[in-house]
Amino acid sequence: MVGRGWLTEGSPLTKGNLRMSLPTPTLHTARLRLRPLGDTDADDLFALQSNAFVLRYWDAPPWTERVRAERFITACSQMAEDGTGVRLAVDRVADGAFIGWCTLNRWNPDYRSASLGYCFGEFAWGHGYATEAARALLQWAFQTLDLNRVQAETDTRNVASARVLEKLGFVREGTLREDCVVNGEVSDSWVFGLIRREWRPSSEQAAGG
């Protein structure tokens, strides 16, 4: 899991006087399908976001009400419509299981920048799914949005997510000291950055669906 503040959405971004919406793609890799979140994902999404162990480094408490999932799905659609980013469900091709989600948020067309975040269920850890899904989303974003910079932040205790970002080519740029409170405990965040000229997509690139 990586990202700070992903359960709230920012204000719409504009370029000039035009409001810009974002397409929500469907992407495919050898093992995964990334697709728009829908109403049928509410139960799986609630199971993921209510898991205290999965969210132990998150900057918001686990959900306790299923209605949060429904609101989250609505917010995802609104986020794309407002032009602030996209959030995609991640399914495992082998059995169709929902294993998590991946997002590109805070898109700024003037600065050509955005932020990356993701969250995966505990049963999906250790298989390279986060790296595979994030790489597919980044490939789409660099090709479609003319991005120059992508940023990601993670709790300094979340070493696994830091390794994922490094595999993707992100560089650790600094530490935000005591910038979050997680489970009542003040925590630090690492800031990672990926610049377009440093992006090295794998030979197995994602294809638009």
C-beta atoms surrounding 2 within 10 Å: 28
Residue 182 backbone dihedrals phi, psi, to 5 degrees: -115, 120
Give the integer Cα–Cα distance in Å for 90 and 34: 5
Give the integer Cα–Cα distance in Å for 205 and 29: 7
Give this prediction's pTM.
0.87
Q: Are 133 and 31 in contact (CB under 8 A)?
A: no
Closest of 117, 97, 98 to residue 106, by C-alpha: 117
Residues contacting residue 171 through CB under 8 Å, at least 6 positions apart: 192, 193, 194, 198
Q: Look at residue 5 and tell me if it is in a domain.
A: no
Q: Look at residue 142 and tell me if it is in a domain.
A: yes
Instruction: Determine whether 86 is exposed, middle or buried from the number of CB atoms within 10 Å of its CB (0-12, 13-18, 19+).
Output: buried
Q: Is the pLDDT of residue 205 over 50?
A: no
Q: Look at residue 98 and tell me if it is in a domain.
A: yes
Q: Where are the beta strands (DSSP E) in 24-138?
A: 27-28, 32-36, 86-92, 98-108, 113-120
Closest of 8, 52, 4, 49 to residue 179, by C-alpha: 4
pLDDT digits (tens, 9 = 90+) for 121-162: 999 999 999 999 999 999 999 999 889 999 999 999 999 999
Q: Look at residue 7 and tell me if it is in a domain.
A: no
How much of the chain, in percent, has pLDDT values that exceed 70?
87
pLDDT digits (tens, 9 = 90+) for 17-33: 455 778 889 999 999 99
pLDDT digits (tens, 9 = 90+) for 86-99: 999 999 999 999 99
pLDDT digits (tens, 9 = 90+) for 176-203: 999 988 778 899 999 999 999 999 887 4
Residues contacting residue 8 through CB under 8 Å, at least 6 positions apart: none
Q: Look at residue 3 and tell me if it is in a domain.
A: no
Mean pLDDT of the chain: 88
How many domains are there within the chain? 1
Q: Look at residue 8 and tell me if it is in a domain.
A: no
Q: Look at residue 1 and tell me if it is in a domain.
A: no
Residue range of the domain that includes 204: 14-208
Q: Look at residue 202 and tell me if it is in a domain.
A: yes
CATH number at residue 84: 3.40.630.30
Task: Starting at the earlier edge strand, list the strands of the sheet with 149-155.
Answer: 171-182, 185-195, 149-155, 113-120, 98-108, 86-92, 32-36, 27-28, 207-208
